[in-house]
Amino acid sequence: MNYYNITLLNSPLDAFTYQSQNTIDIGTKVKVKFRNREVYGVVLASCKEPDFKTSDILEISDSIYSQKQISLARFISTYYFCSLGEAFGVMLPYESGVHSHAEHGNERVLPQITLSTKQNEALEFLKKHKTALLFGDTGSGKTEIYMKYFEEMMEQKKRSIFLMPEISLTPQMNQRLHKHFGDAVVMWHSKLTPKQKKESLRKIHDGSAKIIAGPRSALFLPVKDLGLIVVDEEHDESYKSSSRPRYNARDIAIYMGKIYDVGVVLGSATPSLTTYVKFPHFRLRGGHFSSKKEFLYERSSEKLSPIILNSLQKTLEAKEQAILFLPTRANFKYLICSDCGHTYKCEFCSVGMSIHHKTRSINCHYCNFALSIPQECSECKSPNLISSRLGTAEVVKEIQSEFDEVNVEQFDRDVITTANKLKEALKRFNDKEIDILVGTQMISKGHDYHGVSLAVVLGLDNMLNMSDYRAREKALSTLVQVAGRSGRKESAKVLVQTFNEDFFNAYIERYEDFLEDEKEYRKELYPPYKKLCRILFSHKNGIKASEAMQQMQESLRRFSNVEIVGFGKCGIERVADKYRFEILLRSDKSTDIIKAISACKNTMAEVDMDPIEFG
């Protein structure tokens, strides 16, 4: 009889011992019985016969995790504080029964992509460095450089992974890749049907897929002969997973570059300071489009002011298109009584409920709890309820009532719920069926809009005033990205509503000056110069959560090389009826944080290494 240590896929538990008559390779995916259920696990090691009774391994599959995948899973499990089973849970294994038929001349001869002198210089620079940043303005032709690099990989019989932020699985990028590379491109994302997933996996396993494109999950596919990983819009927050394992796909891509010995390209018009400081970069300036952009600032709080309405009027008269960005979806973010100041909060979360007129409800954007819109204050019975913090749905409504026969559409998570809806909305906009597109962050993500001559940006001051060390970076990056969506063909106007004109105006055309100045603010305090870690405790019983936090922060005090920046209630104390507390740690080295937490961690502690969410 042989005995094996097996970690259960997606389970937070440690490994268990099972037995089998067969000799099984390390990394093999097997089926076992656990608490009367049949589950899958991964063979980690063979071991001696234990002194307790063990169950049989029920089934040995043809799927196997490679040595490199095992090393990667071990790294994720240690660095991001999750079990090995959870780390393997994000990956897909190789199929040992599938033979590659990639050599069967199914490659079509590609019309070669031609690059400009500057683009060629950029490509040569990227090839010289194991990991490098392509710091290119919006519209400067970063995608052509990636595509040329993919071409060269194909010539060397190697394959590439192309990561994009979740929402920017834009139909446009898909179209561009397919137009050039045809069936050699496979898209991978959560919105694929089981049938599409099966087909994509077949092409990945048999080697006919040469470019695998998708959001962060695409990084963990079983790609043989990997030669290159490209992370586009590397600054984007959707690369960070908000549930265990709480990894950042950009950082994992860099780590994979080392263990797989492949090139890694990080691309962005507004790179994160961390990437800018850590890696060599090539600066690609200017767009393909020689259009002029004029920035106008209006000192005003969030509202559709006469200046904005007037600019929209002129754009519509000229038969041109406009985009309008604001950070809040729904009609309004808060409902407040103007007599007693009572704010309508969710019954299960300590956050204000957002107003959705379409469904006649107030909704919590954290736990989805909803109520019908109240007619009077629940505290003082006053009918004087006012809404604050404008949202996308309200702006659409206001524009429609201001202009006759204008086609305005909302472009956010409330409306764009599927990949198909995204595709259709973008097509309508580019076919000039929509005059004004109103959206949240989604509007700024790498889409190509051809005829936009006006971009309106609201709510930046809310982003700038957030309690987050990257507030300046996020607000400026958003403005640059939204402005970059306009004036692709002709000159454009960018109208920004803010009380911080001096800040935005100083850096809007000079992002690298901002990065250089931002370095000074962050030295000695924040990443990339320090490592941060946030530990969360949540429980239906607030006293239990608070006690667990107190206990852990007291034991952490023993570690002199790890600083406790603060601890206490979270900014949002309750979510989904659980009370939340947190500890924020800072240190020079992540290894010091890992050692300290490993020594003091209690069962309630949820560890978020390199956090990007402080709310």
One domain, residues 162 and 75: no
The per-residue pLDDT for range 48-89, each reduced to its tens digit, is 999 999 999 999 999 999 999 999 999 999 999 999 999 999
In a domain, 525, yes or no: no
| Cross-sheet strand order for the sheet of 385-390 | 370-372, 361-363, 354-356, 332-337, 385-390
One domain, residues 259 and 303: no
End-to-end CA distance of the chain: 53
Alpha helices in 337-487 (DSSP H): 392-402, 419-430, 460-464, 471-483
In a domain, 109, yes or no: no
One domain, residues 164 and 279: yes
In a domain, 376, yes or no: no
- What contacts 589, CB < 8 A, 6 or more positions away? 531, 561
Please say whether the beta carbons of 538 and 531 come within 8 A: no
Give residue 104's pLDDT band: very low, low, confident or very high (50, 70, 90): very low
pLDDT at 109: 56
Query: CA-CA distance, 465 to 459, in Å (whole number)?
Result: 10
The per-residue pLDDT for range 7-39, each reduced to its tens digit, is 999 999 999 999 999 999 999 999 999 999 999
One domain, residues 176 and 219: yes
- What contacts 433, CB < 8 A, 6 or more positions away? 407
Of 284, 306, 321, which marks where a domain is finished?
284
**Cα atoms in the 13 Å half-sphere on the side-chain side of 369:** 16
Q: Which residue has the higher pLDDT, 330 or 152?
A: 152
One domain, residues 482 and 549: no
CA 470-472-475 angle, 5° bins? 105
The per-residue pLDDT for range 120-148, each reduced to its tens digit, is 999 999 999 999 999 998 888 899 999 99
pLDDT at 437: 92
Q: Determine how β-strand 321-325 pairs with β-strand 332-337.
A: unpaired
Please say whether the beta carbons of 344 and 326 come within 8 A: no
pTM as predicted: 0.89
- What contacts 420, CB < 8 A, 6 or more positions away? none
One domain, residues 572 and 456: no
One domain, residues 323 and 216: no
pLDDT at 542: 93
Give residue 421's pLDDT band: very low, low, confident or very high (50, 70, 90): confident
Helix (H, G, I), strand (E, B) or coil at 36: coil
One domain, residues 124 and 237: yes
One domain, residues 461 and 415: yes
The per-residue pLDDT for range 304-319, each reduced to its tens digit, is 899 999 999 999 999 9
In a domain, 515, yes or no: yes
Quickly count: other Cβ atoms within 10 Å of residue 161's Cβ: 24
| Cβ burial 467-495 (10 Å sphere, 16+ → b, else e) | eebbebbbbbbbbbbbbbbbbbeeebbbb
One domain, residues 202 and 276: yes
Please say whether the beta carbons of 534 and 553 come within 8 A: no
The per-residue pLDDT for range 473-530, each reduced to its tens digit, is 999 999 998 888 876 556 789 999 999 999 999 999 899 999 999 999 999 899 999 9
In a domain, 615, yes or no: no
Average pLDDT of the segment spanning 327-348: 80
CATH at 152? 3.40.50.300
The per-residue pLDDT for range 136-189, each reduced to its tens digit, is 988 888 999 999 999 999 999 999 999 998 765 567 788 889 999 999 999 998
- Residues at the binding site for Zn(2+) are 337, 340, 346, 349, 364, 367, 377, 380
Of 496, 519, 542, which marks where a domain is finished?
519
Measured torsion, CA atoms of residues 169, 174, 176, 177, in degrees rounded to the nearest 10: 110
The per-residue pLDDT for range 565-584, each reduced to its tens digit, is 999 998 888 888 899 999 99
In a domain, 346, yes or no: no
Return the axis-axis angle of helices 419-430 and 171-181, rounded to nearest 10°: 90
- Extract the tokens encoding 267: 């691309």
Exposed/middle/buried for 441, CB within 10 Å: 0-12, 13-18, 19+?
A: buried
Helix (H, G, I), strand (E, B) or coil at 133: strand
Residue 87 belongs to domain spanning: 2-93
One domain, residues 493 and 575: no
Q: Tell me the residue type at 155.
A: E
In a domain, 381, yes or no: no
One domain, residues 133 and 244: yes
Alpha helices in 38-83 (DSSP H): 67-79
Helix (H, G, I), strand (E, B) or coil at 526: coil
In a domain, 378, yes or no: no
- Residues at the binding site are 337, 340, 346, 349, 364, 367, 377, 380
